Every structure is written in structure tokens, then in C-alpha cells.
Amino acid sequence: MAPVQVGRLLRWAVLSVLMLLGTCLQPWQGAQAQTLPHPPTADSDNTAPVAFTLEVRSPNDRISAYLEKHLELQRFRQLPELQERELLRLLASAPDDAHELLATLGYFEPTVTLERTPTPTGDAQALPHITFIIEPGPATEIAQVNLDFTGAVADEAPTSAQITQIRQSWELAPGQVFSQAAWDEAKTEGLRSLQARHYPAARIDQSHALIDADQHRAELSVRYDSGPAYRFGALQLDGQQRYSLEGAQRIARLPTGAAYDQTQLLEAQQRLASSGYYDTVFLRLDTETTTPEAAPVLAQVREAPLQKWVFGLGASTDSGARLRIDHIHNRLPLIGWRAVSKLSLDQKSKLVASQWTDLPDARGWRWFGGAQLQREETGSYQVNSARLQAGQRRDSERIDRSNYLQYDYANAQGQGAPPSSTAWSINHSWTGRYFDSTTAPSAGYGLAWELGAGTTLRPQRDPFVRMSGRWLAFVPAQTITLPSGRSRQGRWALHAQGGAVLARDAASLPVTQLFLTGGDTTVRGYGYQQIAARTVLDQRYGGRYLAVASVEWQRPIVLHDQFSDWESALFADAGAVGDTPRTMRLRTGVGAGVRWRSPVGPLQADLAYGVQDQAVRLHLRLGFSF
């Protein structure tokens, strides 16, 4: 095994500091639903002086935990100056408070016994100890549920898809235990479902929960009033100064005249927010209009500056320290396009680029043009390259598409470097992202592919076809359950990537059209783009074929019986590059790492062993992208 160098030791030091900082943050609160309801209570500080100690005993541990947290008596524990007569008054009302709390859980005939342990005579430090002994009795079960509808949606019954969906997804079915929190949540969820499409002004007209405490039965009924059906009208902008209403309408792409759909409204809001023209955006349908068949969509916006500079510093184990400067111009003179120009400098690459983009048309497609100059370490060579692009693209919440023409120039420098070459090609790319989160996913998958065809221009003309694809999926694995009942799933992260360039063997292709792999996001245990094809002088060079696969097991880390913001990972990566499938030599890396849900995105730290190189490498990565 190669010795670990000083630079790697420094990276370990940085990682240690980040880990120490991470432990100072509050544990991540996952999406696990609360089992028991939570009425408003004062937050308690377990480290503050207390006036008495409190214990709840019950056959049901969750009932005990719930009462210990929400009993009114808990509000007064942190009052060391609490007088005896005040404590007696609180104890007198405590059983009634316990009965009310248990009723919200569906227990209407509990037996509550209150015991107070006498304070030892002469012991000034001893505290009164109060014990609740709870026999919850039989739970109340739901016997019947009645859902009724009035308003425009009732005119469609019984064929209304929304009514059918609300009935099928109703959460409190006969036979389940009644609780006030579950009843409130079920009513609210039904209302949300009705308001999500067609009926944004829907409301709960009536609701009843009839409890038969003797029979331990509950009969539930709720009547929803849908109100009128709404359709999208024209977009109206509030806060408009620099950018036109027509431009906002073309970006939002609201389907004017279509039936109201909350998802489409949120997607239009997201398109405006991510366009770069607005710092804040809030869209809502005007439900107070007298014309619901063409209800205006009101957009409250705060516009972004016409121009701005963005400075960024970063670092990675692939390319070292990085400086990036972006300049954004939201409306170029004469043509009105949006321009994003950047300068990026790191240890292995120097890049200057600019991309200009038009407003989208009615279908969401927009024209774009771009240019970049780059000097980059590619394999064993320093490569000076240039690229020009022009075409159309369409970006949505999940799917990005583009069709474009591309011109490439590449000049490799170094011993045995291939001749400089140029090429043009016509290309299509497609990317689909189906993750549960765009910044820190834990489920879902992503798929992307590119296809291009063109010809080299220099040193001679040779046609070629270039294709590539990549896939990433998160698959649920073992579920970890804590003593408190909270649970979180581990997962498998599966990754595959491949590519091929088909051309005559003697064709001289630009280096930028060839494949390299290795590094933080591909095959760990190897340096950035270290896995390459080999020339006659045993120099590393981009190859025409690429294959990469990775499997990773991610598992939540539990500290002090609580889920932390950290996860552990075990992984195995493999990749190969070659000028022909037969010359591809597999490189594998194995290792372990940690993941931290930092406030700015997931931080990934991996220690990997490159099997063929017999070397250990540390890989650091911040953020997620696909």
C-alpha cells in the first residue's frame, strides 16, 4: 500500500473538524409521522432545577410517554419556588387533565390513580415524587364513517374521480382505534385532496364524531362543500418593474382555460422562481373572483437585479481548491436574452465560458448559444480546448431535453500527444430525475442519455457517432427502529454509466469527445480521470469506450438512542476505459465512508482503496447533482 502523503493528512484534519461541527447540530427530524397527538405545551428544560419528579406507569409505553410530555403538571416542574398549597391544587386537577388527554387517544374509561411519595423528614434536598398509575381501559373503535359532498363536485357524483379517490384514501376505516388527532388529520387530508384539483375554495361544511363510551364505538361523519369548479385565467403580476408580463407568462406556461390543478400552479411558480429573473415568487388563484371559469392567477414577485456577480470558493479531492466567478445579465441589449458567464480556476482546470438563453416559447422550448475555452489536465496531457454550441432546450421539474449543434477543438500537449483535431456534431440529450429530493435524495432514480453524430474536420474528415448513458437509483434496505418507536430506512445506492464512440480506427477525434473516469463521483480509490486508455508510450489518454458500475450501502447512524444527521456507507466501484472493448482493463475500488446532512447539502467523505493501484485515497464531496 502506498504511503499516505501530507496532503491527505491535511484533508483528514479538515474532515475531523467538519465531523466535530456536525455533532453540534440538532439531529435531523425525519418525515416519521407522530403516533400520538401533541396539544400545545411549554417546552421543558431537563437541566433546569425542578420542584418535583413525575412518573407515569401504564401497560402501554407510548401512552406513558405521551402523558409524561403533555400533562399540565409538567408546566410547573421547573418552578423550584413552587409552594406546597399550589402543588396540592395542581394535584387535585391532574386526574381530570389525564382523563382529557386519554380521551383524545380514544380511551374514555381509564382508571387514573395518583400517588405522592412523602418527602423524608429532615432531607432538604429530597423532592416530592408524583406517580400516575394508568389503566387505559378498552380503546374506542370506529364503527362507521359517512362522507358526504355538496357543491359542484356533487353534480358529478357518483362518477367524480375526486370523490372516489377521497373515499378510497380515507385514513380512518371501521375497526381502527379512534383518536382526535387521527380524526382531525383525516378530515384535513380529505379537504386537501378536494382543494388540489378543480375546487380550491372547498371547505368542511359539517363534521361530527359521535362517541358511545359504553360500547366503545365511534361514528364519524363529515360533509364537504366543494364550491364552484375553477379554471385558470390570465396571469397577473404584482411587483413588475424590469421584466415584462409577457416574459413571465412564457416562463410560467400556465394552461389558461384548463381546470384548476394545484400541482400545475406550483410547477409554474417553480419555473418562475428558478428562471433567474425573480428572487421571490408566490402564486395563488383568485378564489374571490365572480368568474371562476376564468379565475385570475395572482403572482406576487420580487425581481432580481438586471446584473449581478457571484463569487464562490470550493475544494475537492479531485481538483483541489477552486475559485469561481459568475456574471449574470438578465436582459442583454438589443436581443433581450439572458447571459450567464463564468470563470473557474482549480488545480487541474481553467475555464471561461458564457451561455446565452432566450425566453421559452409556448411549449417551453428556448433557443440557446454558448462558448467556452478550457485548459485541463486530461489523462497524461494538458489539453487546450474550445467548444461552441447552439440549439434548443426544454427544462422542466423532472425532465430536461436539448437538441443542438456543437463544434469542438482540442490540442493536447505533452510527449507523444496526438495531433490537434476539430469536429462538429448534431446532438440530442435527455435527463430524467425522479428523486424524492433534488438536493439530498434518499429514494427514487435518475436516468440520462446523449446521442450525437458528426464528422471530424481536421486533420481529415471522418464520420463518428457518440452515445452515452448513466443511471442512479436509491433502493430501500434495512429499516432501523429505535426504542421510542421512530424508524428510518437504510438504502442501496446503485450507479451505472456507459459510453461508446463509433468511428474508423484511424480517425483522429477531439479529446473532448473521448471518455475518462475515476474520482469522487465515479470510481473511488483512483484520482480524477485517472482511468483511461493507454497509448504506445503508456500515456493515459481518453478512450472510445466507457463502463462504470457502483454499489453502495448507506445506513443511518444512531447516537444515544437517537437518529443523527450522519450515515455510514460501504461501497464497491468498478470502471474501465479503452479504445476497443477488448483493451478495456477493469479498475476496482472498495471502501467505507460517512454522509452528513449539512445545512448546505449532503457532505460525502469516503476512504477508498484502489485494488489495482494498491493505494488509499480520501474523497470529499459536497452537494448532490445528477
* Tens of pLDDT, residues 181-191: 889 999 999 99
Angular region, 292: left φ>0, alpha ψ -120 to 50, beta rest: alpha
**Mean pLDDT score, 128-151:** 90
Residue 106, pLDDT above cutoff 80? yes
Domains (range + CATH), the chain: 53-119+126-135 (3.10.20), 141-225 (3.10.20.310), 231-303 (3.10.20.310), 307-625 (2.40.160.50)
Residue 36, pLDDT above cutoff 50? no
pLDDT of residue 280: 95
Residue 536, pLDDT above cutoff 80? no
pTM for this structure?
Answer: 0.69
Buried b / exposed e along 399-421 (16+ C-beta atoms within 10 A): eebbebebbbbbbbebeebbebb
Higher local confidence (pLDDT), 48 or 418: 418
pLDDT of residue 11: 44
pLDDT of residue 20: 36
The angle that helices 61-70 and 84-104 make with each other, rounded to 10 degrees, is 130
* Tens of pLDDT, residues 453-470: 999 998 899 999 999 999
pLDDT of residue 81: 75
* Tens of pLDDT, residues 144-160: 999 999 999 988 766 68
pLDDT of residue 158: 62
Task: Give the lowest-confidence range in 101-110, 192-201, 217-226, 505-514.
Answer: 101-110
Higher local confidence (pLDDT), 478 or 496: 496
Task: Give the lowest-confidence range in 108-122, 160-174, 340-354.
Answer: 108-122
- Kind and range of the H or E run holding 166: helix 161-169
SS3 state of residue 269 = helix
**Mean pLDDT score, 63-90:** 82
Summary mean pLDDT of the chain:
86
**Mean pLDDT score, 111-120:** 81
pLDDT of residue 85: 81
* Tens of pLDDT, residues 251-297: 999 999 999 999 999 989 999 999 999 999 999 999 999 999 999 99
Residue 12, pLDDT above cutoff 70? no
* Tens of pLDDT, residues 548-565: 999 999 999 998 888 899
pLDDT bucket at 124, cuts 50 / 70 / 90: low
pLDDT of residue 416: 76
pLDDT of residue 86: 82
**Mean pLDDT score, 478-493:** 86
Percent helix, percent strand, percent coil in the chain, to nearest 5: 20, 45, 35
pLDDT of residue 84: 78
pLDDT of residue 160: 80
Task: Give the lowest-confidence range in 315-319, 333-337, 446-450.
Answer: 315-319
Residue 10, pLDDT above cutoff 80? no
**Mean pLDDT score, 599-606:** 86
Higher local confidence (pLDDT), 223 or 70: 223
Highest mean pLDDT among 116-125, 318-327, 430-439, 549-558: 549-558
pLDDT bucket at 392, cuts 50 / 70 / 90: very high
Q: How far is CA 588 from CA 97, 380, 494, 534, 581, in A?
A: 64, 20, 15, 17, 17
**Pairs from 312-319 (Cβ < 8 Å, separation ≥ 24):** 314/622, 315/620, 316/520, 316/620, 316/621, 316/622, 317/11, 317/520, 317/617, 317/618, 317/619, 317/620, 318/348, 318/519, 318/520, 318/527, 318/528, 318/619, 319/346, 319/347, 319/348, 319/349, 319/528
Q: In sequence order, which residues have a C-beta less than 8 Å from that of residue 397 and are 6 or more positions away?
A: 267, 270
* Tens of pLDDT, residues 196-239: 999 999 999 999 999 888 888 999 999 999 999 999 999 999 99
pLDDT of residue 338: 96
pLDDT of residue 120: 65
**Mean pLDDT score, 483-509:** 92
CA dist 132 and 315 (Å) reads 57
CA dist 488 and 27 (Å) reads 13
Task: Give the lowest-confidence range in 86-95, 255-264, 362-371, 591-600.
Answer: 86-95
pLDDT of residue 80: 72
Residue 23, pLDDT above cutoff 70? no
Widest distance between CA atoms in the chain: 103
> Do 128 and 87 touch, CB atoms closer than 8 A?
yes
The percentage of the chain sitting over the pLDDT mark of 70, rounded to a whole number, equals 90
* Tens of pLDDT, residues 418-477: 889 999 999 999 999 999 888 888 899 999 999 999 999 988 999 999 999 999 999 999
The DSSP symbol for 109 reads S
Residue 39, pLDDT above cutoff 60? no
**Mean pLDDT score, 241-256:** 92
pLDDT bucket at 102, cuts 50 / 70 / 90: confident
pLDDT of residue 304: 95
